[in-house]
Chains A and B, each alone.
Chain A
Amino acid sequence: MNIHTQNTLPTNKTRLFCAQTQFITHCFPCKQKKTPNTMQNNVKNIFDSFNDYLVKEQELRTEIRDIVRDIDQAAKEAAIALQVIHSSIADVSAACAKARTFFDTCREGYAKLAALIPAGQYYRYHDHWHYMTQRIVFLIALTIYLEKGFLVTRETAADILGLSVSQQQGFHLDIEDYLVGILQLASELSRYAVNSVILGDYEKPLTISKFVADLNSGFRLLNLKNDSLRKRFDALKYDVKKIEEIVYDISIRGLRTEATGAAAVGGAAAAEAPSAPTAEPAAAEEKQA
């Protein structure tokens, strides 16, 4: 267990436990037949301490909100920096470097959050930062894809933000947040494929198509419940479709050499129907590459 994170809020124990000074043991407290007038006079106590509890929670939530706003700001800046990739091929590496500086700011913010959240209450306040975390995971995944061309693992993404992946470590990167972030990456890549073609890079859509097809088969390994992650996953097939159409368009117009063409069509087919035997040529092609 990690060290007890400091509680910035003054706790007023006396008020909270005013209702039960007696020692509660295993057995029920013996029944006192009360006169009706004194009966049930502690409803007020219960609600008083409930209100205290709410006020405390409220204060903490306010602090969380402030920190989250700062992190969100840095994430926005990173997102803006990365938009360059859609308009110019030359600036991609510079944009990635710039985005990485903003991730450092996010990292500091997350450290502050981690110090603020009491141990074992991550999911109590999770709703304040989960959207933001999803977006940041997406930005990290995009940056790493642009730099290296592979999918960021959950560990690496957590590492960049200074988080851990296991719940026992306290403040961690929730797996569903990570997965939603990756799904957002697919949508962005479909847009990136379109713009690559506009900018005259006819090879990029092929690699993207292969990558997104892999993502798709990866997500099919998961058993999803009917939750937000599932809904987001349902949108993935449209991204796959979009990218395939781009590959189809440039193949049909002979905008690229014939050799890669056949293999890429095989790859696209594999993406369409993972159960089809055409998955093998794609794999073979990948080994050659």
Chain B
Amino acid sequence: MSGYRGNKRQHYGKGSARRGRDHENVAVDENNPIIQCFREYATILDAKHDKYERIVKISRDITIESKRIIFLLHTIDPRKNNLQKVCNEAKDRLEAIFRNHFVNIAKELKDQDPYQYTRAYTNGMQEFIEAYTFYEYSCGMDISHWDAIQKKLTYSSDQNVDSSIAEKPLNEPTDAEPDEQKRSNETTGETMKLICLLHPQDFVLGLGDLSGEIMRTCINSLGSGNSESCFLHCRFMQELYKGFLSVTSIRSRDFSHKMMTLRQSLLKSENVCYNVTVRGGEAAKWGTTDETSGAMFQLQPSKDDDDEGVYF
């Protein structure tokens, strides 16, 4: 190779590093059929990437708001008797997320294959599920099935978009999953539905995150001298762990990671309950500031993968 050619070649590194900003001043032959095709492909790709980025943005907002709601729910304190007040506020804010954020995702997903963009909003969705289920747990309700939440994520475009569908046709075409209804024109001839698909896997991963919050609640309630509720929290986490153990054949790397975190939270809260049982509620609380027994709370779970984490 001559040096001259080598110099020319250095353009490549720069050229491909440019994000197409100055394509405009590149002389391309517009009559070339290949160029014409690629102009069209560029449009399609750009539209797709833009949509993806918009959804990611909405998802980030959902994440932030969900984290705030979780923080709010941690302020529930039986001594202040503020359960009702906090729950109402949390409920309003959760409703606002449905109203303001998810509906926008649903609009973006209109006439699209939702699975193409699930990666874009999976984080926001998981965080939201965590907040939602934590709200239900804190207020003493049962945890909703994901179908119930999916229903709330289904909007119809004829009403004001600030309300979920309140009336469903009785002949729902729910074949296997709710997202089957994502057809632009319903057979019943009513207006189209906008759906923000809730992937069941996101729901379960969100439940996994919930365990961390419950562990915190458990330790907080010990601090506030409400030691008998520790046992309830602990039992619920054992249920969760059992549920996670029952899941087989999942195609997700996050899942096992979540499972380990769940196990650690479980061990922590079981340890709290142990301390309460052995020393009574007060002593356990002092134990947290004490050097020797403080180590009990930093208990590292054993690294071996034996599954004897559930005992009753």
Contact = CB atoms under 8 A, between A and B. Distances in A.
B143 A46 contact: yes
B80 interface: no
B222 interface: no
A17 B87 CA distance: 27
A151 B242 CA distance: 56
Interface stretch (A74-82, A220-228, A254-262): A220-228
Given A120-B182, A222-B42, A217 B19 contact: no
Contact of B247 (A7, A51, A150, A245): A51
Given A42-B145, A214-B34, A31 B140 contact: yes
Nearest to B39: A221
Contacts of A280: 27
A50 interface: yes
A50 B139 contact: no
Contacts of A55: 249
B38 A19 contact: no
Nearest to B48: A175
Contact of B200 (A24, A31, A53, A218): A53
B143 A218 contact: no
B16 A237 contact: yes
Contact of B38 (A16, A29, A222): A222
B16 A123 contact: no
A179 interface: yes
Contacts of A150: 33-34
B37 A218 contact: yes
B113 A167 contact: yes
A24 B151 contact: yes
A120 to B, nearest CB: 5
B246 A179 contact: no
Interface stretch (A96-104, A189-197, A201-209, A266-274): A266-274
Q: Which of A9, A51, A248 has the most CB of B within 10 A?
A: A51
Interface of B is mostly: helix
A33 B140 CA distance: 6
B27 A275 contact: yes
Give the interface size class of chain B: 35 or more
Interface stretch (B171-179, B263-271, B272-280): B171-179
B23 A120 contact: no
A282 B152 CA distance: 60
Interface string B109-131: 00111111010000000000000
A7 B243 contact: no
A29 B37 contact: no
A154 B40 CA distance: 10
A44 interface: yes
Contacts of B116: 122-123, 126, 167
A39 to B, nearest CB: 7
Contacts of B95: 28
Q: Which of A234, A245, A273 has the most CB of B within 10 A?
A: A273
A46 B48 CA distance: 34
B114 A222 contact: no
Interface in B65-119: 87, 91, 95, 111-116, 118
A117 to B, nearest CB: 10
A237 B145 contact: no
B300 to A, nearest CB: 27
A43 interface: yes
B180 interface: yes
A225 B244 CA distance: 35
A273 B11 contact: yes
B32 A214 contact: yes
Nearest to B114: A120
Interface string A116-144: 00111111101000000000000000000
Given A40-B143, A118-B176, A218-B34, A58 B236 contact: no
A233 interface: yes
Given A1-B184, A34-B140, A39-B232, A218 B35 contact: yes
Given A217-B26, A220-B20, A17 B147 contact: yes
A218 B87 contact: no
Contact of A40 (B33, B41, B174, B239): B239
16 contacts: A1-B185, A19-B148, A20-B145, A24-B152, A26-B152, A39-B236, A44-B239, A47-B246, A53-B200, A118-B175, A120-B180, A217-B26, A221-B35, A279-B28, A280-B27, A286-B32
Q: Which 8 A-B pairs have the closest CB atoms?
A: A218-B38, A47-B243, A19-B145, A123-B115, A123-B116, A124-B115, A223-B20, A214-B34
